[in-house]
Structure 1
Amino acid sequence: MTRPVLLWWGIGAILAAIVVGIVVTGPIAPAIDSGWNALMVDVRGPFLIGAAGVLDRIGGGWIASYLIPLVILAALLLARRWRAAIFVAATLLVSVAAVQLLKGMFARARPESMLVTSDFGSFPSGHTANAATLATLAVLLLPRLWVLIVAIAWTLAMALSRTVVSAHWLSDTIGGMLIGTGVTLVMAGFVLTWARSRGAQPDLPRAEPDLPRAEPGA
């Protein structure tokens, strides 16, 4: 995608997330949120709760905040992709900042049937936003079909897991996906071409051509 396309899609996704936040925190709560939460309470069993608990730990806390980013950055640096590493680190920081800003702005209460411990602010889902950010980064830096499939599956699994344990309303996860994707696309619109390049490579010494030697006595 070209720079204008990345920027417009990114800005559009961020604005859509803000619109969703305004709607769901208005005087009339959307019925789909309460209905979906009730459905998750009815269908969740030991397997779903256990799987959601694993994603809860992977997608938040020190694992999501430190371990996973450090592993990704180390891999990029070992591959001599330092520009991509800067892009990833900056995008993750901006995504977290955007999520926290919207959480404070909307101050939405979480579902009462929540099974895990979480911080204040239900909209948007930080776990889902982080998953969407990592997924979009992966697709942009490694544009392969299998990467796209895994990225979509990872993001949807994280979003579903947040509603299984009632840590978020359904619309919170939609807002998280929009914010994570939108922030990444906007950042990519500014630096993706630069981030994909490996930078200037050092010039290797050129071998001097062998010159014919004069024969003695010639």
Structure 2
Amino acid sequence: MIRVLTPHRQPDRQLVASGLLLLGAFAVPGIMILVGQGDPAFNRVDTWWQAYSFTLHTTFWDGVNGVLNWVGYVGMLSCHAVLALVLLIWNRPRTAAFVTVSGVVALALTQLAKAVVGRARPEGAKVLTDTGSYPSGHVSATTALLLVLAFLVGRWWMSSLAALGVIAMMISRTYLSAHWLSDVLGGACLAAAVVILMWWRFRDACIQENMNAGTTTIWAARASRRRRAGEQAQ
């Protein structure tokens, strides 16, 4: 079998430390926004970046970012669900659980943070937006899926594509005036922290499962075991 997935075993300390640092990087700005009533110390950087983004607007980039607006949320959540289903078919139920739990937890915490922080979005958004600007749901969903793929594929090119994809989505959300710069950074940090900590818990099971996986689907494997059990009983 040609293995598409080649996950690696990173040190526990490295994963836990990275996950906690990213959680802190997400939580601190959120607390500052709450304490500062929407006008934290980094607001000047947010407004400068927003003003700069307006200078980049063209018809072409409006179209590109309109596509990214759909891809970054509905598209990413759909791909997350499809990935979990494909892993089940590939006889990797624990890896599918890692994918599912990572996506659900990242989505739930993002929506919870939006409601708690209650930050107002920038004015003049080019797309429809819901309430709550911090953190960015599009960036969170994109980061969650691409980082999951980076861990599972385990190759440098996937990690590079994941980084480029997250950066592109961060730029897109600020270009569309749907989020402040700190919102997209917060979304990336939150989702990355969730995926890294989930990988820490699921890593060994996923690696072992990938090593043991055959070419048959999980349903074919179960049917084969039932047939063998029936033959033995006879």
Range into which the TM-score falls when normalised by the shorter chain? 0.7 to 0.9
CA distance, structure 2, for counterparts of residue 158 and residue 142 of structure 1: 21
Deviates more, 1:149-158 or 1:195-204: 195-204
Q: Give structure 2 stretches of 5+ with no counterpart.
A: 1-9, 214-220, 229-234
One of 120, 142, 153 as aligned partner of 1:109: 120
Identical-pair percentage: 31
Q: 1:106·1:121 contact (CA, 8 Å) conserved in 2?
A: yes
CA distance, structure 2, for counterparts of residue 44 and residue 10 of structure 1: 35
In structure 2, the partner of 1:57 is 70
Letter aligned with residue 35 of structure 1: W
Question: Equivalences for 1:158-197 in 2 at 5 Å?
Answer: 158-197=169-208
Q: 1:135·1:151 contact (CA, 8 Å) conserved in 2?
A: yes
CA distance, structure 2, for counterparts of residue 77 and residue 14 of structure 1: 30
Question: Equivalences for 1:151-162 in 2 at 5 Å?
Answer: 151-162=162-173
Task: Report the secondary structure of 1:60's partner residue.
Answer: helix
CA distance, structure 2, for counterparts of residue 48 and residue 180 of structure 1: 26
CA distance, structure 2, for counterparts of residue 174 and residue 40 of structure 1: 16
In structure 2, the partner of 1:129 is 140
> How many angstroms does 1:24 deviate by?
4.2
Letter aligned with residue 76 of structure 1: L
Q: 2:33·2:117 contact (CA, 8 Å) conserved in 1?
A: no
Q: 2:87·2:95 contact (CA, 8 Å) conserved in 1?
A: yes
Q: RMSD of aligned C-alpha atoms?
A: 2.1
Letter aligned with residue 191 of structure 2: G
Letter aligned with residue 185 of structure 1: I
Relative to the length of structure 1, the TM-score reads: 0.86
Relative to the length of structure 2, the TM-score reads: 0.80
* 1:75-111: CA deviation from partner (whole Å, max 9, x where unpaired): 2223222211111001100001110111111100000
Letter aligned with residue 43 of structure 1: L
| Corresponding position: 1:69 with 2:86 | no
One of 158, 171, 174 as aligned partner of 1:147: 158
> How many angstroms does 1:13 deviate by?
0.5
Quick check: which one's helix share is greater? 2
Count how many residue pairs are aligned between Structure 1 and Structure 2.
Answer: 203
> How many angstroms does 1:192 deviate by?
1.3
* 1:1-36: CA deviation from partner (whole Å, max 9, x where unpaired): 222321221122112101022234525442110111
* 1:174-200: CA deviation from partner (whole Å, max 9, x where unpaired): 001100100111111111111222287
In structure 1, the partner of 2:97 is 86
Q: 1:108·1:122 contact (CA, 8 Å) conserved in 2?
A: yes
* 1:96-132: CA deviation from partner (whole Å, max 9, x where unpaired): 1110111111100000111111111000001101111
